[in-house]
Amino acid sequence: MAITTDETKANDDDQVYQKGVKNLCENGVTKVPKKYILPEFDRADIVLQVDLTMPNLKLPVIDFSELQGPNRSEVLKSLTSACEKYGFFQVVNHGIPNNVISSMIDVSARFFELPIEVRSKYVSSDLTAPVRYGTSFNQNKDRVFCWRDFLKLVCHPSQDVLVHWPSYPTDMRRLAVTYAKEIKNLFVMLMEAILESLGLWGATMNKTEEVEKLIKQFQDGSQQMVVNCYPPCPEPHLTLGMPPHSDYGFLTLLLQDDVEGLQIQYKEKWVAVQPLASSFVVNVGDHLEIFSNGKYRSVLHRVLVNPAKSRISVASLHSLPFNSMVSPSPSLINKANPRRYKETDFACFLEYISSFEPKRKNFLESRKLL
């Protein structure tokens, strides 16, 4: 059967789109291609009202150094409130050196400046690959692409995956593995505090066997870093850098440069998150909502794009080991608060996103019992 001119053009367009938006920009795109134009009801100014009286949301700020001192109980109350009310908070005084943070942003930006021939070596449709370069949200399922390119790095176990990570820029492996180790340690300490904030242990209650086991699992658990590049967009009102979604895992720790773009859904409105220098934005993931039996909420968030500036962010997603089951904590279930979620694992998640276009909190909704 002969291939028509339209079919040939469609195939050529698909190949161009698979190379990502950075490549489009490098080739001088001046209008958003049709593949990236969202339906009107999905665009940033239509989905929900953007509250112009509250253009920036000041998330609760957790001073990590205070968790180690006499004010720990007060900080834990703030942590509880943040996880219940916002599903997001920012962490300052976390102890990760500024040079580790700035180096990670710098080497991430330099990776996306490499020629497309170098970047595209890491393109893979294997969702379990130790390194994967791609575009959009899920380029295999998205009917409309979003204005983002990404590099996903599986971080654990480092001795097995590091050899697969990009060898250019030449200092990327060294800088990224240093950052990954620092952020993993911070995640484990934050989860220890979150388990205490849930009442599973504390000043008057030693760590239970459940808590000890969980902390060990977090130390040995899954970690994936997603390095995001959002190039300048000629028509930012027509597209999004990331569509509304919640994150898989227990916690996501986000490092971002000084270009705004992140918005979270708060009280049925989309509000921008003001970046704080040398801080991390932390959000509750679907696994923590399941584990807390709904007490702590994973919250929808999205990314806007900028007409003039490129934006770099590094999201570090953490959970239990890939083969571990996540279920509501037995300590948080009773007659007044019955079990609300099925158990799940990474295989369930991969099966779901391999079959469906990821949208909003659909995977989490598929885990609900009530």
pLDDT in tens, 20-58: 999 999 999 999 999 999 998 888 764 334 444 445 778
Residue 15 forms part of a structural domain: no
**pLDDT at residue 251 in the model:** 98
Which residues does 283 contact at the CB level (< 8 Å), separation at least 6? 87, 88, 247, 251, 252, 254, 264, 298, 299, 301
For residue 351, pLDDT beyond 90: no
**Range(s) of the domain holding residue 322:** 20-366
Q: Which of 91-95, 165-169, 360-364 has the lowest mean pLDDT?
A: 360-364
Does 7 fall in a domain? no
User: For residues 350 and 28, which has the higher predicted lDDT (pLDDT)?
Assistant: 28
pLDDT at 348: 82
| Torsions phi, psi for 95 (to 5 deg) | 90, -5
DSSP 3-state percent helix, strand, coil across the chain (nearest 5): 35, 20, 45
Q: What is the pLDDT of residues 266-278, one digit of tens each?
A: 988 898 888 788 8
What does the pLDDT average to over 312-320?
97
The DSSP output letter for 340 is: -
pLDDT tens readout for residues 232-272:
999 999 999 999 999 989 999 999 999 989 999 998 889 88
Q: What integer is the mean pLDDT of 284-303? A: 95
Residues 145/135, Cβ–Cβ less than 8 Å: yes
Q: How confident is the model at residue 13 (pLDDT cuts 50, 70, 90)?
A: low
Residue 357 falls within a domain, yes or no?
Answer: yes
pLDDT band at 309 (very low <50, low <70, confident <90, very high): very high
Q: What is the pLDDT confidence band of residue 199, given thresholds at 50, 70 and 90? A: very high
**SS3 (DSSP) at 51:** coil
Residues 6+ apart with CB under 8 A from 87: 264, 283, 284, 296, 297, 298, 299
Query: Quick one: average pLDDT of 83-98?
Result: 96
Strand partners, 224: 154, 317
Predicted structure pTM score: 0.91
Inside any domain, residue 10: no
Q: For residue 160, what is the domain's CATH number?
A: 2.60.120.330
Rounded Cα distance, 229 and 312, in Å = 5
CB 215 within 8 A of CB 188: yes
The Cα–Cα gap between 243 and 106 comes to: 25
What is the pLDDT, as a whole number, of residue 358?
57
Which residue has better confidence, 142 or 130?
A: 130
Q: What is the pLDDT of residues 135-183, one digit of tens each?
A: 987 777 788 999 999 999 999 988 899 999 999 999 999 999 999 999 9
50 compared with 115, residue with greater pLDDT: 115
293 in a structural domain:
yes
In a domain, 91, yes or no: yes
- At residue 15, the pLDDT reads 56
- Do 265 and 299 touch, CB atoms closer than 8 A? yes
- pLDDT attached to residue 158: 86
207: in domain: yes
Residue 268 within any structural domain of the chain: yes
Residue percentage of the chain with pLDDT more than 70: 89
pLDDT on residue 359? 60
User: 295: which residues sit within 8 A by CB, 6+ positions away?
Assistant: 83, 84, 198, 332
What is residue 327's three-state secondary structure?
coil
Q: Is the dihedral of CA 89, 90, 96, 99 positive or negative?
A: positive
Report the domain count for the chain.
1
Mean pLDDT of the chain: 88
